[in-house]
Amino acid sequence: MTEQKHKNGVDQTILAITDFSKSSSNAILFAANLLQYCNLKFIFLNVFDIPSDKDSLLISIEDILTTESETDLKKQSAEIALAFKNREINISTYSLTGKLKKGIAKIIESEDIDLIVAGIPANKYPSNYLNDCPILFRGQSKYPVLLVPENCVDKPLRRVLTLNFDSAKQQNMLNKDLEHIINHDHITKYTISINEKKIDHKVISSLHTLLKKEKVELIIFISAPGDRIDKAMLDYQLYELYPYLMSLLDS
């Protein structure tokens, strides 16, 4: 039955940002399990910097780092393929030098991406409420971004919170199409709207109460056109998304 769902499922291409850490591997596994009814193609992207003193070395440091990156990509690909040995998942890899945003932009030029996934190391952005809750960022960008904390445990979704700014055009992104492709078990949906121009602390208090009372397993955050999070998504500054939202939720 499961194999039949995969064969007839929706095609999804996921760009996974990886540094081969536990958090990035966990994010890939989480995304694959979340979209368990999809025909998945993963693109693993590792981006690394070249030391400024590379020209003083007899051996090309870029060649060494590229070889190491490609070796680690092959290893991680094999580990993910083994984890889903009963499921056909296509994996391709890219090893690039430079800045992450440029690496993402280069991949998007040649690949049709449906989702960008990245892991958040444990305790990098301490939060009173969301240390183990993944967040799906949606906005003006064509590419949604799923950020997955290292402590996040994969399981069927039961409680999903849609958090949006008042000026966001689409306020509930957990529609029937999305429910059809994600791994869930009788989802309970919550929705909270925030006025981005003047933060209502009563609304934030209600949000805190909800997060304490209910074990939310996914937050869908819908940014408003032109706000800080929306600009970060458009500019592929993925790691600017999380701390800004944390500061808002913990205020």
CA–CA separation, 246 and 54 (whole Å): 38
Q: Which DSSP symbol is given to 224?
A: P
Q: How many CB atoms lie under 10 A from the CB of residue 161?
A: 22
CA–CA separation, 13 and 30 (whole Å): 15
Residue 191 near residue 66, CB atoms below 8 Å: no
What angle, rounded to 10 degrees, do the helices at 22-34 and 61-83 form? 40
The per-residue pLDDT for 79 is 95
CA–CA separation, 95 and 45 (whole Å): 6
Torsion angle, CA of 66/72/76/77, rounded to 10 degrees? 50
The per-residue pLDDT for 171 is 47
List, in sequence order, every beta strand (DSSP E) within 18-144.
Answer: 38-48, 90-97, 115-120, 135-138
pTM above threshold 0.85: yes
Looking at residue 222, its amino acid is: I
Q: What are phi and psi of 240, to 5 degrees?
A: -85, -15
| Residue 226, Ramachandran bin (φ over 0: left; ψ between -120 and 50: alpha; else beta) | left
Q: Which DSSP symbol is given to 4?
A: H
The per-residue pLDDT for 123 is 79
Torsion angle, CA of 171/173/177/182, rounded to 10 degrees? -160
Q: For the chain, which residues score pLDDT lower than 50?
A: 1-6, 171-177
The per-residue pLDDT for 76 is 97
CA–CA separation, 80 and 90 (whole Å): 10
Element (H, E) at 160: strand 157-165
Domain that holds residue 62: 2-249
pLDDT in tens, 91-150: 999 999 999 999 999 999 999 999 999 999 987 877 777 778 899 998 888 899 999 999
The neighbouring-strand residues paired with 43 are: 15, 92
Q: Kind of pairing, strands 10-17 and 145-149? A: unpaired
Residue 241 near residue 229, CB atoms below 8 Å: yes
| Tally of domains within the chain | 1
Q: Which of 107, 129, 131 minimizes the C-alpha distance to 117?
A: 107
The per-residue pLDDT for 25 is 95
Q: What's 61's domain CATH number?
A: 3.40.50.620
Element (H, E) at 7: helix 2-7
Q: What are phi and psi of 238, to 5 degrees?
A: -60, -40
